[in-house]
Amino acid sequence: EPEVTQTPSHQVTQMGQEVILRCVPISNHLYFYWYRQILGQKVEFLVSFYNNEISEKSEIFDDQFSVERPDGSNFTLKIRSTKLEDSAMYFCASTRFMNTEAFFGQGTRLTVV
Amino acid sequence: DQQVKQNSPSLSVQEGRISILNCDYTNSMFDYFLWYKKYPAEGPTFLISISSIKDKNEDGRFTVFLNKSAKHLSLHIVPSQPGDSAVYFCAASEGTSGSRLTFGEGTQLTVNP
C-alpha cells in the first residue's frame, strides 16, 4: 500500500540552527501538507502546497518556515533559525484531490536544545 | 482554537462491546469530517470520513454519524477489539480552504480483553 515517508525520524538541533525535514508524499497525490504536534497539544496545520506553490498557511507558518518541492517526489519543510518552541512532532501529509482523506507520514520528532 | 472539540480524553471498554467516541464542532462552514487513529510514535492513520451531505457512513466495524444541527459527530466501533486501543482524533475541513484539517484533542481508547 502506498505511504507517505518522512526522514529523519528524529532530529536534534541547536537553537538558531537551520533544519530541513523531508517527506516523500504518495506518488499520485496532488496536495501536500505539513502539520505539527507539540507534546500534549493538538495536531496543528502549518501549510498546504499545490501546483508548486503554497495554497494556504497558518499563523504559525511565519518567515522562519519555508516549503519546497525540489523534484518530482520530495517535499521539504525548512526552519531557518530554530527556537526551543519549535520542538514538536512534524507530520507530512498528502491528498489525491482537495477535500479527500489525508494520508500522514510517521512524523519527524524535532528537538531543539 | 476550539473549533473542534473532543470532550473525553479517555474511554475504556470491554472487548466485544461498542466504543462510542464523540466530537463537537463550532464552525458551520465545515463540510467534511474525518476520524484518525494514532499509535504512539506513528502518524495519524485515516479511518473513515463523512461529507456534510450525509448523516451516516459505514466501513466494516466503523460507523460515523453526523448530526449537523447539533454540530456533533460520533464514531462507533463494533465490536471493539484490543488492537483498537489507540488515540482517536476527529478532524474537519471546509471545502473552500483547500483541505486544511482542524483537529480535536484526541480520545485515548483502551479496549480491555
The 10s digit of each residue's pLDDT in B28-82 is 999 999 999 999 888 999 999 999 999 999 999 999 999 999 999 999 999 999 9
Residues of A in contact with B49 (CB under 8 A): 101
Contacts of B53 (CB under 8 A, 6+ apart): none
Q: What span, in angstroms and rounded, lies between the C-alpha atoms of B90 and B36?
A: 6
Range name among A22-26, B34-38, B97-101 with the lowest pLDDT average:
B97-101
Task: Give B113 to chain A, closest Cα distance, Å.
Answer: 27
Determine the average pLDDT of the residues in A18-28.
Answer: 96
pLDDT band at A42 (very low <50, low <70, confident <90, very high): very high
Nearest-by-CA chain A residue for B46: A103
Contacts of A75 (CB under 8 A, 6+ apart): A22, A23, A24, A25, A32, A49, A67, A68, A69, A92, A94
Task: Give B71 to chain A, closest Cα distance, Å.
Answer: 19
Asked if residues B102 and B4 have their Cβ atoms less than 8 Å apart, the reply is: yes
pLDDT given at position B1: 59
